[in-house]
Amino acid sequence: MLSTFAAVDWEDRLDDWQNELELQAQLDESEWVPLDRACAATGVSRPTLRNWYRTRQIPSRLVDGPHGPQRLVPLANVSERAAASARIRNSVQQRLDDAGQLAILRARVDALELRLAGLEQPRESS
């Protein structure tokens, strides 16, 4: 007996959902993104985003996503709200400073490894 339900191609459904988000962004003239993308782009934590949309500091909407309902927020509004928060600005700045310090330390370790490799090579006798 054949099933009456058509097979769902999840990749196609995900592509359709992405296309729908892009079309809605064009119509709204702003980019509405899922919470995880807003967090990654702005450095704002997910609980903070939830607080902001629950207290109506930023707009949000619930849309059907590939895995059920998904909350979207306008990225521009999140960025503006994050820039207005000194605590978030300081947190993001600290992460940038940490990343810069890490890059400097990596460069120093690489230089020391090259020097050590040069010292460990056997010397030619004259």
pLDDT of residue 1: 46
Q: Is residue 91 part of a domain?
A: yes
pLDDT score, position 43: 83
Residue 91 CA to residue 95 CA, distance in Å, equals 6
**Domain assignment of residue 4, yes or no:** no
Q: What is the per-residue pLDDT for 121? A: 82
Residues of the chain with pLDDT under 50: 1-4
- Same domain (yes/no): 70, 43: yes
- CATH number, domain of 64, equals 1.10.1660
pLDDT in tens, 61-97: 888 877 888 999 999 899 888 888 877 777 777 776 7
Averaged confidence pLDDT in the chain: 80
Three-class secondary structure of residue 34 per DSSP: strand
Number of domains in the chain: 2
State which residues form the domain around 108.
86-121
